[in-house]
Structure 1
Amino acid sequence: MHDTYSQIVLPFASSPELFEQYTNASGGLRTGMLMEHLDSLAGSIAYKHMLGPSVETLGRVQERGFYIVTASVERLDMLASLYPVRDTRLSGQVIYTGKSSMEVAVKMEALGPDGGEETLMLGRFSMVCRNARTHKAHPVIPLIIRTPAEEALYKIGESSKDRRKYAALQALSRVPPSSAEAAELHTTYLKCGQEDDSLVQSERVWMGDTLLEKTMLMFPQERNVHQKVFGGYLMRLTYELGFANACFFMRSHVTFHSLDGISFTQPVPIRSILRLRSQILHTSPPGELPATVHVRVVASVVNVQTGHEETTNDFRFTWARDDGKSTPRIIVPKTYQEAMLWLEGKRALEMGAQIRGRRIRALEGEQPSCTM
């Protein structure tokens, strides 16, 4: 397992020229660009596992006989602020292998001038290996586990795969909401869902009114080794659109909490027209702190001749208002489809709070976590 470990150090504090390239509108670091690097690092680590640590270049995919793509991102959780700006280390390693899949754990750390380290972000990428000619599943080299710490990481990766399977079975696209979820949805409808209720019009926001979209052409400069649009680039685009939507809704600057999931269903071809649609799905209850908002961004490729759109990616993000205030505005669905998205957002906010709490407690307890 340790042979797959890789890291990149970005010297923001010691290189003003590099920091300038990553500066956001608030004078901090562009989180979307760092996510793009994490995706690239996860892909490099997956190839390192398949090719061996001594191989420095990929070469031609057809000659290798296989290629690796990102299937999904289970989570990326921000555990500490990017301020003040410090040198930053991105690292990761393969922690689990299946028949044709790999789990890559990644970490982002701030490096202090005194040699101290602070974990900023943790996450996991699910990578799949495909045959370069048939595009069917290609076997992955099994991991060799040698230490108790590696065994613990392997079990984390294994449980992640099992958790994704369970979540898929419990998805609202397959099973109805629980009785408690249905009751809360009905209560929200009775309280805020009446069209002519003037008492809540200043606080209620219809989900359909939160749509924010962007359409753009995909250029060859953003291609990956498979001659498709690089997944990390899409991650950055969707992050920035979702961030803008969260700011509009909160009427405040927001702080990134988590990437709650990404599904990569189809590759995005070079020279295609990409449409990104962002929508607010759920918010924390009025008065609750921190005030959080869950945002969905869907990427679709548009066929110019027919006008047909095909969904390629589905991204879910959570941001929090960073001024310490709550927000009285709440999202209210109108249709049954919106109601299911509303419940998905509610589940994501609850799950994210639990996971961040566990990870922060583990870091405060100084438990060995390697790249987790």
Structure 2
Amino acid sequence: MHDSYCEFVLEFGSSPKLLEQYINVHGGIRTGKLMEHLDSLAGSISYKHMLGPGVESLGQIQDRGFYIVTASVDRLDMLSPLDPSRDLRLSGQVIYTGKSSMEVAVKMETIGMGKAEVTVLLGRFSMVCRDAVTHRARNVHPLIISTPEEQALYSMGEEMKKRRQSLALRSLSRVPPSSAEAETLHSFYLQYGQDTKGSSSQVGKGERVWMGDTKLEKCMLMFPQERNVHSKIFGGYLMRLAYELGFSNSSLFMRGGRVRFLSLDGIAFAQPVPIGSILRLTSYVLHSTSSVEFPMIVHVAVTANVVDVETGNERTTNEFRFTWCRDGDTAVSRQVVPKTYKEAMLWLEGKRALELGDEIRAENQT
């Protein structure tokens, strides 16, 4: 397992020029740019597992006979804010292998300045191996487990895969909501959804906002400078674009203030994005709530569609889910409210994601 380990350090603490390339409007670090690095790191780790630790260059894909793509990103959980005055180490390794898939665990840690290392992010990528000629699934090397710590990581990777499969079977696109979820949705409808006059109104102590009114989108031409080794648009670049649109949407919904990233709750890479295509990114706020710790939390979906310029038809290539919170101050209570059955199912999916995020953050804190 340790043969696939990779790491690199972003020297923010000692290189002001480097920090300038990553700084955001609040003086922190642009998380979207770090997501690009994490996707690239997961790919490098997967190739290192397949090629062996002594190989330093990937070379031509056709010569290797296989290629690796990101199938999904299960989660990225931000455990504490980034400190721009300290160096940042990104690292990871393969912790579980299936027949043609690999589970890659990644993390980010602040280091240096004579202080203790602090883990600020934990994440999980699911990578798959394909034959370079047939493009069908290709077997990956099994892992050799040599220590109790590696066995624990392997078990965690196995549990991740089982959890992902279980969530897929419970998806509201496949099965109806549970009776408890249906009751929750109905109670929410009785409180917020009956008056259809206008697009939003004051209901009780919070402001109602129709889900359809949270729509935010942008169209972009995909240039070859953002290509990966397969001459398709780099998945990490798409992650950054989706993150930045989702951040903008959550900021608008929460009416400004200090917006903090909590988690990437999932990404599904359905199809590659070709160079030269027109990409439409569309974002909606799916669910909003509050907690003792945060005055407002929102779950945001971003869908990436490739547009056919001749017919106007669109096909979905990627779906992203993120969670943000309003940090450290009071916020206006705003409830995102579905109008249609489809929006109601998305609202419930957002609720599930926020509940799972609470559980995972509690586990990480312990």
Give the TM-score normalised by the residue count of structure 1.
Answer: 0.95
Paired position in structure 2 for 1:335: 340
Distance change in 2, residues 1:292/1:174 (3 Å)? same
Residue 115 of structure 1: how far off its partner (Å): 4.9
| Secondary structure, aligned partner of 2:167 | helix
1:215-269 Cα offsets, whole Å, 9 max, x none, are 0000000000000000000000000000000000001231000000000000000
Paired position in structure 2 for 1:56: 56
1:216 corresponds to 2:220: yes
1:348 corresponds to 2:353: yes
Q: Quote the Cα distance in structure 2 between the aligned partners of 1:186 and 1:327.
A: 24
| Secondary structure, aligned partner of 1:160 | helix
Q: CA RMSD in A?
A: 1.4
| Secondary structure, aligned partner of 1:95 | strand
Query: Contact (CA 8 Å) 1:96, 1:103: kept in 2 or not?
Result: yes
Stretches (4+) displaced over 4 A: 285-288
Residue 291 of structure 1: how far off its partner (Å): 1.6
Paired position in structure 1 for 2:166: 166
Q: Quote the Cα distance in structure 2 between the aligned partners of 1:220 and 1:349.
A: 36
Question: What is the letter of the counterpart of residue 91 of structure 2?
Answer: S
Q: Quote the Cα distance in structure 2 between the aligned partners of 1:102 and 1:288.
A: 35
Point out the more displaced range, 289-298 or 341-350. 289-298
1:153 corresponds to 2:153: yes
Paired position in structure 2 for 1:254: 259
Paired position in structure 1 for 2:231: 227
| Secondary structure, aligned partner of 1:203 | strand
Unaligned runs of 5+ in 2: none
Structure 1 segment 192-341 matched on structure 2, within 5 A: 192-193=192-193, 194-196=195-197, 199-200=202-203, 203-252=207-256, 253-285=258-290, 289-341=294-346
Question: What is the letter of the counterpart of residue 200 of structure 1?
Answer: V
Q: Quote the Cα distance in structure 1 between the aligned partners of 2:203 and 2:284.
A: 21
Residue 288 of structure 1: how far off its partner (Å): 7.4
Point out the more displaced range, 70-79 or 177-186. 177-186
Question: What is the letter of the counterpart of residue 219 of structure 1?
Answer: F
Residue 85 of structure 1: how far off its partner (Å): 3.0
Residue 347 of structure 1: how far off its partner (Å): 0.4
Query: Contact (CA 8 Å) 1:286, 1:329: kept in 2 or not?
Result: no
Query: Contact (CA 8 Å) 1:35, 1:232: kept in 2 or not?
Result: yes
1:96-138 Cα offsets, whole Å, 9 max, x none, are 0110000000000001311520000001000000000000001
Q: Quote the Cα distance in structure 1 between the aligned partners of 2:191 and 2:291.
A: 13
| Secondary structure, aligned partner of 2:58 | coil
Query: Contact (CA 8 Å) 1:203, 1:328: kept in 2 or not?
Result: yes
Unaligned runs of 5+ in 1: 362-372
1:141 corresponds to 2:141: yes
Question: What is the letter of the counterpart of residue 249 of structure 1?
Answer: F
Question: What is the letter of the counterpart of residue 167 of structure 1?
Answer: L
Structure 1 segment 57-136 matched on structure 2, within 5 A: 57-136=57-136
| Secondary structure, aligned partner of 2:347 | helix
Paired position in structure 2 for 1:20: 20
Query: Contact (CA 8 Å) 1:293, 1:320: kept in 2 or not?
Result: yes
Percent identity for Structure 1 against Structure 2: 67
Q: Quote the Cα distance in structure 2 between the aligned partners of 1:24 and 1:2.
A: 35
